[in-house]
Amino acid sequence: MDSIIVKGGTPLGGKIQIAGAKNAALTLMPATLLSEEPVTLTNVPRLSDIRTMTELLQSLGVEVSALKGGNVQVLSAHAAEETTADYEIVRKMRASNLVLGPLLARHHKAVVSLPGGCAIGARPMDLHVSALEAMGATIELKDGYLHAAAKGGLKGAKVHFSIASVGATENVMMAATLAKGTTVIENAAREPEIVDLAKCLRSMGAQIDGEGTSTITIDGVDRLGSASHAVVTDRIELGTYMLAPVFAGGEVECLGGRLDLVGAFADKLHDAGVDLSETPDGLKVSRRNGRAQAVDVTTEVFPGFPTDLQAQMMAMLCTAEGTSVLEEKIFENRFMHAPELVRMGANIDVQGGTATVHGVDRLKGAPVMATDLRASVSLILAGLAAEGETIVNRVYHLDRGYEHVEEKLGAVGAKIERVSG
């Protein structure tokens, strides 16, 4: 398994191009199952999760043509007749569950392996299941697979989520586009990736209103057509690279970055004493004199502080002046980076869903283990600030969500290399 070696202490300078969003692409790709006509996606990130989704869709009969090194994808589901999403592919990635809604809507049946628990929490599917049941599906768990059927097709329904789940909102939105009648989703997730999905579905001919608010209304139509859609900027990759100069010093411009994508995160950076400005091409970040200041952070659904930036923020706060309290409210087991940061000299006390970080003067390089996607990148960022060499082992999670991280950081002056193993 590959490792990433980082030598800390070099200030950064230059520009980093931010890619299209993994979490948007992973719902836009299965959305193409809803149409018999081709859909073109541009600004697709080059990630192993995208390759996994490609493999899954191909197993369902979707023709996927990748152009420009994968940056553009043409997906055609005209001959996609298979309705079973196999465990061997689904187990690799939670987002595989996003084929459930589209398959049910188009074929009135689907057999989808449960993705299973993962490192950051249990992540059940109950909200997806009960919402699709309210739309007329019968769903049964057998042999680790959800067996779903909707004789005569799905029907519009009122769906109220007890948690504003991103994936459940996406599955129901997609399913509702071809259902008979009107579906109203209450307490819908409001993430930019939901807005992006609605935009793409609308270009395909869907009738959707209210995306970006807590109530989304979808009037079912008979069929969807073709469309071309550019994937929204990855706000998590953006936030990650915005932090890089805070760790290493210097200044970085994140091309394609927009403040509306990272509002709550940018507010915390501002409170921590980080300089942030909008430019015609993106967002520029530099660290003001000396250390960042401690800030308290609570993860929340959008527009709150994203859980997917909590690990990176914690790493930054390890060397901030003062004590910071981080509360993780979305996933019950998302502090696995903490003991690895402690190996680098951080002072962190974790009690349940709360981590208290007492800022230290500096971190020291160490061999560390990457446990999940955002934990992996938090350790790389910590390595940029640390004295000496940090070896981040087991980085396969990283490639799920970051394209060419060593090239992007290397281009702005970081001493970073990948060692194949």
Ligand X SMILES: CC(=O)N[C@H]1[C@@H](OP(=O)(O)OP(=O)(O)OC[C@H]2O[C@@H](n3ccc(=O)[nH]c3=O)[C@H](O)[C@@H]2O)O[C@H](CO)[C@@H](O)[C@@H]1O
Ligand Y SMILES: C=C(OP(=O)(O)O)C(=O)O
> Which span (67-75, 115-123, 216-224, 266-274) binds ligand X, by CB under 6 A?
115-123
Distance from C-alpha of 238 to C-alpha of 325, rounded to nearest angstrom: 23
E strand residue ranges, 181-239: 182-186, 207-209, 215-219, 227-230
Q: Are 133 and 171 within 8 A, CB to CB?
A: no
Which one of 265, 305, 331, 335 is in contact with ligand X (CB under 6 A)?
Answer: 331
Q: Does 139 bind ligand Y (CB under 6 A)?
A: no
Q: Is 23 in the site for ligand X (CB under 6 A)?
A: yes
In this structure, are strands 145-149 and 354-358 parallel, antiparallel, or unpaired?
unpaired
Distance CA 289, CA 274 (A): 9
Residue 93, class by beta-carbon neighbours within 10 Å (0-12 exposed, 13-18 middle, 19+ buried)?
Answer: buried
Among 111, 157, 175, 330, binds ligand X (CB under 6 A): 330
CA 297/CA 14 separation, integer angstroms: 28
List 67, 79, 141, 163, residue binding ligand X (CB under 6 A): 163
**Residue 19 one-letter amino acid:** A
Candidates 20, 167, 256, 345; binder of ligand X (CB under 6 A) is: 167
Judged by CB under 6 A, the stretch of 65-73, 92-100, 182-190, 286-294 that binds ligand Y is 92-100
Residue 401 interface partner, choices ligand X, ligand Y, none, CB cut-off 5-8 Å depending on type: ligand Y
In angstroms, what is the minimal distance from the CB of 136 to ligand X? Answer: 18
Binding of residue 124 to ligand X (CB under 6 A): yes
| Candidate list 118, 200, 254, 318, residue with the active-site label | 118
Q: Is 116 in the site for ligand X (CB under 6 A)?
A: no
Of the candidate residues 76, 183, 307, 319, the single one contacting ligand X (CB under 6 A) = 307
Question: According to the binding rule CB under 6 A, does residue 401 interact with ligand Y?
Answer: yes
Distances (CA, A) of 289 to 12, 246, 292, 314, 362: 15, 11, 9, 20, 15
* Residue matched to tokens 């997609």: 174
Per CB under 6 A, the segment of 62-70, 93-101, 147-155, 261-269 that binds ligand Y is 93-101
Does residue number 373 form part of the binding site for ligand Y (CB under 6 A)?
yes
254 is catalytic: no
With CB atoms as reference, the residue minimizing the distance to ligand Y is 308
User: What amino acid is encoded at 71 in this protein?
Assistant: N
**Cβ-count burial of 394 within 10 angstroms (0-12 exposed, 13-18 middle, 19+ buried)?**
middle
Sequence-distant (≥ 6) Cβ neighbours of residue 350 within 8 angstroms:
335, 338, 356
**Is residue 308 at the binding interface for ligand Y, with CB under 6 A as the rule?**
yes
Q: Which is nearer to ligand X, 91 or 358 (CB)?
A: 91
* Residue position matching structure tokens 């550019």: 230
Question: In the set 4, 25, 29, 94, which binds ligand Y (CB under 6 A)?
Answer: 94
214 SS3 class: coil
For residue 124, the partner it binds in ligand Y, ligand X, none, with Cβ less than 5 to 8 A by kind, is ligand X
Q: How far apart are CA 360 and CA 387, in angstroms?
A: 13
Per CB under 6 A, 171 contacts ligand X:
no
Site track 68-97 with ligand X (rule: CB under 6 A), x = hit: --------------------------xx--
Q: Is 28 in the site for ligand X (CB under 6 A)?
A: no
Stretch that binds ligand X, among 78-86, 134-142, 158-166, 286-294 (CB under 6 A): 158-166
Alpha-helix residue ranges (DSSP H) falling in 125-234: 126-134, 166-177, 192-203
Alpha-carbon gap, residue 364 to 385, rounded angstroms: 8
Residue of 106, 268, 374, 397 that binds ligand Y (CB under 6 A):
374
Site residues for ligand Y, window 22-61 (CB under 6 A)?
23
The answer to the question of residue 11 lying near ligand X (CB under 6 A) is no
**Interface with ligand X, residue 41, by CB under 6 A:** no
Sole window of 89-97, 132-140, 223-231, 277-285 interacting with ligand Y (rule: CB under 6 A):
89-97
| d(C-alpha 316, C-alpha 319), whole Å | 6
The number of residues that bind ligand Y (CB under 6 A) is: 9
Nearest to 334 by CA among 44, 122, 71, 31: 122
Q: Which residue, 48 or 71, has its beta carbon nearer to ligand Y? A: 48
CA angle (378 as vertex; 375, 382 as ends), nearest 5 = 140
Whose CA is closest to 16, among 299, 251, 323? 251
Binding residue positions for UDP-N-acetyl-alpha-D-glucosamine: 94, 123-127, 308, 330
Positions in the binding site for ligand Y (CB under 6 A): 23, 93-95, 120, 308, 373-374, 401
Binding residue positions: 22-23, 94, 123-127, 308, 330
Just list the catalytic residues: 118
